[in-house]
Amino acid sequence: MTKKRELIELDDVVIRFSGDSGDGMQLTGTLFSNTAALLGNDIATFPDYPAEIRAPQGTVGGVSGFQVHIGHSDIRTPGDLADVLVAMNPAALKANARWLKPGATIIYDRDNFTPKNIQKAGYKEDPIAEDRLQDFNIIPAPITSLTKEALKDMNLDMKTVLRSKNMFALGMIYWLFNRPLKYTEEFFQQKFKRKPEVVEANEKVLKAGYYYAETIEALHSTYVVKPAEIEKGVYRNINGNTATAWGLIAAAERAGLQLFVGSYPITPATGILEELALRKDLGVITVQAEDEIAGITTSIGASFAGLMAATTTSGPGLALKSEALGLAVITELPLVVVNVQRGGPSTGLPTKTEQSDLMQVLWGRNGESPVAVVAASTPANCFYYAFEAGRLALEHMTPVVLMTDGFLANGSEPFKIPDMEKMPEIKPPIVPEGTEDYMPYKRDPETLVRGWAIPGTPGLEHRIGGLEKDKNTGNVSYDPANHEEMTHIRAEKVAKIVEDIPEQKIEGEQEGDLLLVGWGSTYGHLVSAMEELAAEGKKVGLAHFNYINPLPANTDEVLGKFKKILVCELNLGQFANYLRMNYPKYEYHKLNKIQGLPFTVAEIKDEAKKLLEE
Amino acid sequence: MSTEENKVVYTPKDFKSDQEVRWCPGCGDHAILSSVQRTMAQLGIRREKYAVISGIGCSSRFPYYMATYGFHGIHGRAAAISTGVKTANPDLSVWTITGDGDALAIGGNHLIHAVRRNVDINLLLFNNRIYGLTKGQYSPTSVKGQVTKTSPYGTVEPPFNPGELVIGAKGKFFARTIDGDIKLSVEVFTEAAKHEGTSVVEILQNCVIYNNGAYADITNREHKEDRQIVLRDGEPMIFGKNRDKGLVLDGMQLKVVKIGENGITEKDILVHDSKVNNPGLHMMLVNMKWPSHPVALGVIRNVAAPTYDTAVHVQIEKIKEQSPIKNMTDLLHSGNTWVVK
Ligand SMILES: Cc1ncc(C[n+]2csc(CCOP(=O)(O)OP(=O)(O)O)c2C)c(N)n1
Ligand code: SF4
Ligand SMILES: [Mg+2]
């Protein structure tokens, strides 16, 4: 059917779909990513959208974007700069012009580049010239009018017609990258089972875009990106929020407990609650509570009652949970708290990513109130760190905070499906019926973990609560020496988790001139920067932390192996300060960014090179 | 308990913990503790099935004195913690202990939502119209003009009536009792326990230290029969030392009448029905105040409705049956996957 032109093989390509927040760019990007993943490409995605559901149309502030990086080799980031931009209006071009590779392909909806829209976006009259894009591969496509044309016989209202123009753009991109339409068509058939006219309209427009791309002369060549050479196995595409939800369910399964999640919706954490609410088939109890305080306190109640309990939120919600988190600390009940960070303070930048809640998580409570903290570093490994948070909470009888962020939550990548049999079995210290002389705060002398006596068990009736407890009997105690001892015990119990977590790895050079240090979602960008620097002959290593409290046992040793240390994080230096507090003998250089955006690999390399040359 | 084997015989002592009770001598909480212990001993529920959950306040120390499972929470959150316990394990008999500050100020949001959801808990609201534990500040139930440490010139804000709030939040069970009336308290607590759903019992509780005599006008021996009315299903709303006063509807108002006067006979007196869904009359009854009316005690509203915790588990069982996903492995392999060889 198609007369193919020159076929060019690419190692990787970055595509950015961009339009008004009502243009369906998130769906378009997701559908493209899913197709790429199913064809075996490695992928990384970065949805970037405004906080408003329908932000002011046609303005730069209202632009919603979805960037996807697909490749034949290991893909670690959504890419700094795009090879292809789809711009549904002038504002989308304006917002993204500076994030393009030189000579990139720009496909834009010519019909929307009216003088009025051009000015609304902040241009005078000629966007291409004003942004100096003349040398780029510019494809002005009449997307709106051809969408209307494709649907003219269908008798649809104009709103429905316009809503499907994103499929025209997607069709063009599918042609450009030699992708089958099959998976996307299947998606529509599934999603709109009861609305055959919607299925038909979307398929028609998708094909119209595909054939249009084929016909026009502007596209000289098409591209293939071969399947990635990645580890053998069964894969699926997954985003960070779903991976987090599934990791929690997996932990409950390996512990043989029902999962209870009390939560209150908040961007960007809501997806976890939504996913868990679907999983009644696996026995998950979700309570959409009246507020975040009820979210955590219902979960504490469920934990007291003997279930695996978790609560999910973002920074503002964590602030509301802080008093109750202290209650979980003093009652020594297992609880996972997921904090999907976003830009702060206050409501801040709800839909943008940031790592600025570290200090809040570590210390944002009254009293000496230690919690264990772990951080996921890729969308897919949210699964493993959610599982790990569950394991540590249940086996060490402590609240554990899992930190992710907006970038991980919404970003997706291929996930090698684990063998559940090989996931560790989780063994909470449940006190068996018939235990003589049970006392609630009696502990394992090695781990300092107390036993978990579940209401309903005859003979283990006991009372716990927020008042200080006698270290043996668990009765309320105001004894000064007892309080001091209990304070130390609680701290030591969490510190002892260090014996139950892996040592810190160094990637790249094992010793040398510069150690890049990061934690959480910056992993992809940091490891890419490290590898590129290594390829240029630099003696650089990367220590990327997933265990934040306690820090791995060999942290001091790791930091000591390099001449310089550069701590890179999306805040003003919280992890650097934390390391300095724990290991004051080193000098910590900092690379900080606080724009609601991830690092670019180039930014990290530039800073690293500057330090290497000093 | 269904089987013979499970039949248990308890005495109130079986529900006393070994902890020394630390409320002030003369505090109404002592009597309430004893009423709860008596109730639990005769409900036929095994001791290990009870979970007593509280917030913060004098009243919230309650769980420490009970030989059951107990949890002393944080201020205001008793209803939310209880919701978690009961939803996690509907097999437990959950008793929520809370004060007027705990339930109606800092915890107002959790209270109304527990009531709205109809979580199957028994919530005992110790209403002493004062903040006891923090030593005497006014509460959301303090009467207007009440002089306390934080209202030295009298409060200027109107109080909540807990019953009105609970019924307004779609409450299905509301009862009222008095701390010192152990017989009535046991009767009312037993009904609360039997009711499936959120059973709120307001207990008029005397704080001898910071609000002594808050209810003296209706509880003193001399006048109490004339100033209280105990409502019981199927019985006419008659009260008074000489059982000669009753309640009738006069238009849209409740009115006190004298039997034998103006041709009024017992037949004219309203008969109590806690089971009618329409909250209209119940609302009027909870709002009755002395001196215009007697204060209503007993089970005022007791309407059957589905409970939250049961609904949650029924839904889970239904979806479990329908879904092809039976475990984590099924979920991981569901939807679009691909194989890398
Ligand atoms: C977050 C928080 N705010 C304030 C307090 C202080 N506080 C403890 S109890 C209480 C009021 C208690 O009044 P009530 O609930 O009526 O209980 P009572 O002592 O009268 O039984 C207050 C304000 C607290 N413990 N925690
Ligand atoms: S202060 Fe009042 S409420 Fe508290 S224990 Fe004493 S008498 Fe009871
Ligand atoms: Mg009070």
pLDDT score recorded for residue B224: 96
CA of B165 to the centre of ligand 3 (A): 17
**Nearest atom within ligand 2 for CA of residue B22:** 5
Q: How far apart are CA A155 and CA B303, in angstroms?
A: 53
Residues of B in contact with A323 (CB under 8 A): 74
Q: Are the beta carbons of A574 and A355 closer than 8 angstroms?
A: yes
pLDDT of residue A562 exceeding 80, the answer is yes
Q: For ligand 1, atom 13, which residue shows the shortest CA distance?
A: B131
Coil/strand/helix, residue A567: strand
A6-225, what's its fold? Answer: Pyruvate-ferredoxin Oxidoreductase; domain 3 (3.40.920)
Ligand 1 test: best mutation among B62, B64, B102, B149, most atoms within 8 Å of CB?
Answer: B102
Per-residue confidence band for B341, with pLDDT thresholds at 50, 70 and 90: confident
User: For a pLDDT cut of 70, what percent of chain A falls above it?
Assistant: 99
Token pair 């109809």 is at which residue?
B118
Residue B193 Cβ < 6 Å to ligand 2: no
Per-residue confidence band for A230, with pLDDT thresholds at 50, 70 and 90: confident
pLDDT score recorded for residue A1: 38
Per-residue confidence band for B1, with pLDDT thresholds at 50, 70 and 90: very low
Residue of B nearest to A229 (CA): B340
Burial of residue A426 (CB within 10 Å: 0-12, 13-18, 19+) is buried
The three state secondary structure string of A239-282 is EHHHHHHHHHHHHHHHHCCCEEEEECCCCCCHHHHHHHHHHHHH
pLDDT score recorded for residue A2: 44
Q: Which ligand is nearest to the CA of B108?
A: 1
The CATH number given to whatever domain includes residue B114 is 3.40.50.970
Residue B210 Cβ < 6 Å to ligand 2: yes
CA of A333 to the centre of ligand 1 (A): 23
For residue B322, being part of any structural domain is answered with no
State CA A227 to chain mean position distance: 24
A359 touches chain B (CB under 8 A): no
- What's the mean pLDDT when you consider all of chain A? 95
Mean predicted confidence (pLDDT) in A81-107: 95
pLDDT score recorded for residue B4: 46
Q: How far apart are CA A304 and CA B262, in angstroms?
A: 61
For residue B209, being part of any structural domain is answered with yes
CATH 3.40.50.970 describes domain A236-422: yes
Contact state of A38 with B48 under an 8 Å Cβ cutoff: no
Contact state of B91 with A456 under an 8 Å Cβ cutoff: yes
- ipTM over 0.95 threshold: yes
Residue of B nearest to A186 (CA): B336
Q: For ligand 2, atom 8, which residue shows the shortest CA distance?
A: B27
Per-residue pLDDT reduced to its tens digit, A145-161: 999 999 999 999 999 99
Contact state of B336 with A231 under an 8 Å Cβ cutoff: no
Token pair 């609201």 is at which residue?
B125
pLDDT of residue A235 exceeding 70, the answer is yes
Q: How many A×B Cβ pairs under 8 Å?
A: 208
Domain with CATH 3.40.50.970 in chain A: 236-422
Mean predicted confidence (pLDDT) in B61-66: 98
pLDDT of residue A384 exceeding 50, the answer is yes
Q: How far apart are CA A386 and CA A371, in angstroms?
A: 15
Per-residue pLDDT reduced to its tens digit, B178-216: 999 999 999 999 999 999 999 999 999 999 999 999 999
Q: How far apart are CA A432 and CA A451, in angstroms?
A: 9
Contact state of A281 with B320 under an 8 Å Cβ cutoff: yes
Contact state of B332 with A463 under an 8 Å Cβ cutoff: no
Per-residue pLDDT reduced to its tens digit, A169-211: 999 999 999 999 999 999 999 999 999 999 999 999 999 999 9
Q: Are the beta carbons of A400 and A389 closer than 8 angstroms?
A: yes
Q: How far apart are CA A390 and CA A309, in angstroms?
A: 9
Residues of A in contact with B93 (CB under 8 A): none
Buried b (16+ CB within 10 A) or exposed e, B117-153: bbbbbbbbbbbbbbbbbeeeebbbbbeeebebeebee
CA distances from A441 to A11, A270, B48, B71 (A): 58, 35, 19, 14
- Contacts of range B19-27, beta carbons closer than 8 Å, 24 or more positions apart: B19/A475, B19/A476, B19/B64, B19/B65, B21/B65, B22/B61, B23/B58, B23/B61, B24/B208, B24/B209, B25/B208, B26/B206, B26/B208, B27/B58, B27/B206, B27/B207, B27/B208, B27/B209
What the block records as the tokens of A60 is 């730069």
A187 touches chain B (CB under 8 A): no
Position with higher pLDDT, B327 vs A217: B327
pLDDT of residue A330 exceeding 70, the answer is yes
pLDDT score recorded for residue B184: 98
Architecture of domain A507-613: 3-Layer(aba) Sandwich (3.40)
Q: For ligand 2, atom 5, which residue shows the shortest CA distance?
A: B23
Q: How many domains does chain B have?
A: 1
Contact state of B340 with A233 under an 8 Å Cβ cutoff: yes
For residue B263, being part of any structural domain is answered with no
* CA max distance for chain A: 86
Chain B residues 294-313 with a CB less than 8 Å from chain A: 312
Query: CB neighbours of B261 closer than 8 A, spacing ≥ 6?
Result: none
**Nearest atom within ligand 2 for CA of residue B23:** 5
Q: Are the beta carbons of A440 and A477 closer than 8 angstroms?
A: no
Q: Are the beta carbons of A224 and A177 closer than 8 angstroms?
A: yes
Domain with CATH 3.40.920.10 in chain A: 6-225
Per-residue confidence band for A167, with pLDDT thresholds at 50, 70 and 90: very high
Q: Are the beta carbons of A396 and A497 closer than 8 angstroms?
A: yes
Chain B residues 133-162 with a CB less than 8 Å from chain A: none
Mean predicted confidence (pLDDT) in A336-346: 97
Per-residue pLDDT reduced to its tens digit, A437-454: 999 999 999 999 999 999
Contact state of A463 with B312 under an 8 Å Cβ cutoff: no
CA of B109 to the centre of ligand 2 (A): 25
Q: Compute chain B's Rg from CA coordinates.
A: 23
pLDDT of residue B3 exceeding 60, the answer is no
Query: CB neighbours of B21 closer than 8 A, spacing ≥ 6?
Result: B30, B33, B65
B51 touches chain A (CB under 8 A): yes
Q: How far apart are CA A129 and CA A139, in angstroms?
A: 14
Per-residue pLDDT reduced to its tens digit, B12-37: 999 999 999 999 999 999 999 999 99
* CA max distance for chain B: 97
Contact state of A246 with B92 under an 8 Å Cβ cutoff: no
Q: Which ligand is nearest to the CA of B102?
A: 1
CA of A303 to the centre of ligand 3 (A): 28
**Nearest atom within ligand 1 for CA of residue B207:** 20
Q: How far apart are CA B193 and CA B49, in angstroms?
A: 13
B6 touches chain A (CB under 8 A): no
User: For a pLDDT cut of 90, what percent of chain A falls above it?
Assistant: 90
Cβ neighbours, 10 Å, residue B235 = 12
Residue B21 Cβ < 6 Å to ligand 2: no
Residue of A nearest to B47 (CA): A458
CA of A357 to the centre of ligand 1 (A): 30
CA distances from A553 to A131, A547, A557, B5 (A): 52, 10, 9, 54
Q: How far apart are CA A147 and CA A168, in angstroms?
A: 7
| Domain of B104, in residue numbers | 2-214
Residues of B in contact with A300 (CB under 8 A): 73, 81, 84
HSE-up of B85 (CA within 13 Å, CB side)? 31
Per-residue pLDDT reduced to its tens digit, A453-495: 999 999 999 999 999 999 988 999 999 999 999 999 999 999 9
